[in-house]
Chains A and B, each alone.
Chain A
Amino acid sequence: MGRTPDRRIREVESQAVTTRTAQHTAPGAVRARRSLYLQYLVEPFIYLSPAIVLIGAVMLIPLIIGISYSFQAIDLLRPFNTGWIGFENYLALWSDRKFWIALQNTFTWTFWSITFQFLLGLGLALLLNTQFHGKKLFQALVFLPWAVPTFLSALTWAWLFNPVIGPLPHWLAALGVLSEPYNILGDPALAMWGPIVANIWFGVPFFAITLLAALQSIPSELYEAAEIDGATSWQCFTKITLPFLAPMIAITVMLRTIWIANFADLIFVMTGGGPANSTHIVSSYIFTTAFRKLDFGYASAVAVALLLLLLFYAVVLLWLRKKLVRV
């Protein structure tokens, strides 16, 4: 208790004099820069160093090596044919039809996944923000898909789409969506929807949890005030709830988009990119190139391309946000 005001006061105290810079050096200034002061400088790094070392060694150094791979020919199946080849991998990429299909698929995959995850997640969060019987149990159960390991979600949904043991094709046929109960994962025109549905199932809880947390931080006085002012519940939603959630939504959607664009597990397990490459997204294409063809040079070039696209996306989004916030 009383914690926050205290800390705030202290912050104010240290800020209050910001305009005044050091004009004269106090007599003991140099001498004092010894043990206690040194300890203050060194101490945080004692706690941080394991994390820094590990992230550096396992993520940053390989990242740099990975970028350098993209300019080399490293094909484990052709071990004598290695060396620097400049932009050859990128040139190959430019004329690689599979890559462009994968890129297109990445958009489809990411767009539909994020849209449904977000809308369904928002709906669930709004429901969970009301009162009803058995809410705790309900919440635990609807959040459960998030806890299911991804490879298992993928397998389960692949089985559900299989007309031999799964009900989905039969139901879809009965509804008239499919002409007959067959496996859509084998149909190049529809196969992408298999992983997308699995992804939606897996991702709704994440959005619901995040948005629920944000919803609960909206002060209830706002709704009471609006109600006294005679607002309808739809007006409450559009005038209070959405504006309050907007910053949270923006950041979550941005991070999640990048995450989904990178997320190859479901596709790899459910379709392996098939049939006829119709479900490859860029990241599953990277994995297949590295894992099945062992062509590390080319896989790295594809990865760098994906990285650049994502960076571009992030920069555009941040720029847009800055623009919108100013207006």
Chain B
Amino acid sequence: MARIELKGVAKRYGSVEVLRDIDLAIGDGEFIVLVGPSGCGKSTLLRMIAGLEPITGGDFFIDGTRMNDARPRERDIAMVFQSYALYPHMDVARNMGFSMEIRRRPQSERANRVKQAAETLGLSALTERLPRALSGGQRQRVAMGRAIVRDPRAFLFDEPLSNLDAALRVEMRLEIARLHKRLGATMIYVTHDQVEALTLADRIVVLDGGDIQQIGTPLELYERPANKFVACFIGSPTMNVVPATGQGGTLTLKNGTQVALPHTADLDRAAELGVRPEHIDLVDAEDADLTGTVDLVEHLGSDTNIYVNIDNVGMLMVRRRGNAPNRSGDRVFLRLQRENTHVFAFDDSALGHVSVKAA
């Protein structure tokens, strides 16, 4: 098990910078998820940690040793690929034991480890099959088996669940969480799916455009996003963001509605107001901040998404528990939960709170 540290790591293809100045310290046994939209550089970062892509700037350490120039084999890290990358001409057992075969470990040890891994992953009956005779979920398990057999210093996952259907994805997600709990190994996991990120991670690293946007626990990212990008990327359905100006302790929306936010620092710099759909309540007319017309209603069973059109402000999505009776065309009255609002400055950074605990 290992600590992994990146200091000012960068990646450049010719004059094109794909990653800039990445600082990240990963503790022993930590589950880190790298998340971001496609094109953010998360897979490249993972491949640099693996040693498949050369690091063009900065320093990379495993357990305190600088490893920038180490070959993949010298880093002793296992990786699960999006395509699983099972060797098509080898059966399941040989696929799983290949790393030990390469390291010339004795046959008996190999067989033992493969058998153990196959048992934990429920693959015992399949060890003699070729990959093409396996289902998607089984292939995924073999890929994981291949990684755990050799007991590496760290595990890397490159969007491992994106080729599975929705039901299997949930199942395998649990499997990975269980695996992490049992092995206590350092794991780095790349995904573009924020649900996977929120459910699996000890800490999440949000990347966009080659920069780290924020590092934090899932709750931190949800409750205190550092900027508009993180705010909109984490959480589903996505956060409502509307233009606003601030003065004194009060925020003014475009239709003139005023919302008092005394705990937000520097409110004068405000440019936009963000509220998650679950943080808007339907209230009586006298308590309302805003009045609008229901445009569309989506019934999800457990929740109801209500799209409300508000003159001069725009469309807000409101999420209500259970099956709400609202219909399109209804007049509704909305109130924003003050403690759950986010205010963004012109540079998209989130404005801080005036020491929340003291208040």
Do A and B have CB atoms closer than 8 angstroms in the complex? yes
**Interface of A toward B, CB cutoff 8 Å:** 1-3, 6, 9-10, 12-18, 20-29, 31-37, 40
Assuming the contacts A6-B82, A22-B15, A36-B69, asked whether A28 and B58 have C-beta atoms less than 8 A apart, the reply is yes
B51 in complex: contacting residue of A3, A27, A34, A36, CB < 8 Å: A36
Cα distance, A18 to B18, chains bound together (Å): 8
Given contacts A13-B38, A36-B69, contact A22 B54 (CB under 8 A): no
Contact A14 B44 (CB under 8 A): yes
Q: Is the CB of A14 within 8 A of B71?
A: no
Are the C-beta atoms of A13 and B57 separated by less than 8 Å? no
Report which of B8, B18, B70, B82 forms a contact with A14, defined as CB distance below 8 A: B18
Q: How many A-B residue pairs have CB under 8 A?
A: 109
Instruction: Give the CA-CA distance A34 to B246 in the complex, in Å.
Output: 53
- What are the residues of chain B within 8 A of A3 when measuring CB–CB? 83
Pair B44/A16 contact, Cβ less than 8 Å: no
Q: Say yes or no: A21-B20 contact (C-beta < 8 A), given A27-B8, A37-B54.
A: no
Report how far A20 CA is from B58 CA in the complex, Å: 19
A23 contacts across to B, CB distance below 8 A? 17
Q: How far is the CA of A15 from the CA of B58 in the complex (A)?
A: 22
Using CB atoms, name the residue of chain B closest to A19: B16
Q: How far is the CB of B35 from chain A (nearest CB, A)?
A: 14
- Taking the closest CB of chain B, its distance from the CB of A36, in whole angstroms, is 4
A-B contact pairs, 29 of them (CB 8 A): A1-B163, A10-B43, A10-B44, A12-B38, A13-B39, A13-B44, A14-B16, A16-B18, A16-B39, A16-B40, A17-B209, A18-B16, A20-B16, A20-B210, A22-B17, A26-B9, A26-B10, A26-B21, A26-B56, A27-B8, A28-B57, A28-B59, A29-B58, A35-B69, A36-B51, A36-B69, A36-B70, A36-B71, A40-B54
Contacts A14-B16, A22-B15; A37 near B163 (Cβ below 8 A): no
Contacts A2-B162, A13-B40, A13-B43; A32 near B16 (Cβ below 8 A)? no
B55 contacts A by Cβ under 8 Å = yes
Interface residues of B (CB under 8 A from A): 7-10, 12-13, 15-18, 20-21, 38-44, 51, 54-59, 68-71, 82-84, 136, 159, 162-163, 209-210
Alpha-carbon distance between A6 and B46 when the two chains are bound, in angstroms: 14
Contact check: which of B17, B55, B70, B71 meets A17 at CB < 8 Å? B17
Across the interface, name the chain A residue whose C-beta is closest to B15. Answer: A21
**Are B83 and A2 in contact (CB-based, < 8 A)?**
yes
Other A-B pairs beyond A14-B16, A32-B57, 20, CB < 8 Å? A2-B162, A3-B83, A12-B38, A14-B44, A15-B39, A16-B18, A22-B12, A22-B16, A22-B17, A26-B8, A28-B55, A28-B59, A31-B59, A32-B54, A32-B55, A32-B68, A35-B69, A36-B54, A36-B69, A36-B71
Cα-based distance from A178 to B8 in the complex (angstroms): 86
Q: Which residues of B contact A14 (CB under 8 A)?
A: 13, 16, 18, 44
Q: Using Cβ atoms and an 8 Å threshold, which residues of chain B touch A17?
A: 16-18, 39, 41, 209-210
**With A and B bound together, what is the CA distance between A1 and B134 in angstroms?**
12
**Distance between Cα atoms of A17 and B208 in the complex (Å):** 10
List the 6 closest A-B pairs by CB distance, nearest first. A26-B57, A16-B39, A29-B57, A26-B10, A2-B163, A28-B58
Most A-side CB within 10 Å, residue of B18, B51, B70: B18
When distances are taken between beta carbons in the complex, the residues of chain A under 8 Å from B210 are 17, 20
In the complex with contacts A2-B162, A20-B16, A32-B39 CB distance below 8 A: no
Give the residues in chain A near B44, CB-CB below 8 Å: 10, 13-14
Write the nearest CB–CB distance from B51 to chain A, whole angstroms: 7
Residues of B within 8 A of A36 (CB): 51, 54-55, 68-71
Q: How far is the CB of A196 from chain B (nearest CB, A)?
A: 47
User: Do the beta carbons of B20 and A26 come within 8 Å of each other?
Assistant: yes
Closest chain-B Cβ to A27's Cβ sits at a distance in Å of 5
List residues of chain A with CB within 8 A of the CB of B57.
Answer: 25-29, 32
Q: Which chain A positions have C-beta within 8 A of B43?
A: 9-10, 13
Name B209's closest neighbour in chain A (CB-CB): A17
In Å, the complex CA distance between A40 and B69 comes to 11
CB distance from A4 to the nearest CB of B (A): 9
* B residues less than 8 Å from A34 (CB atoms): 69
Q: Name which residue of chain B comes closest to A26, CB basis.
A: B57
A40 CA to B349 CA in the complex, in Å? 39
Residue of A18, A22, A37 most packed against chain B (CB within 10 A): A22
Q: A2-B82, A6-B83, A18-B16 are in contact. Are A28 and B21 (CB under 8 A)?
A: no
Chain B residue at smallest Cβ distance from A28:
B58
When distances are taken between beta carbons in the complex, the residues of chain A under 8 Å from B70 are 36
* Bound CA span A20–B11, Å: 13
**Which one of B9, B54, B59, B163 has the greatest number of beta carbons of chain A within 10 Å?**
B54
In angstroms, Cα B10 to Cα A37, docked, is: 14
In the complex, residue of chain B having the shortest beta-carbon distance to the beta carbon of A7: B83
> In the complex the two chains form, what is the Cα distance from A21 to B42 in whole Å?
19
B10 neighbours in A (Cβ, 8 Å): 26, 29
In whole Å, how far is A88's beta carbon from the nearest beta carbon of chain B? Answer: 50
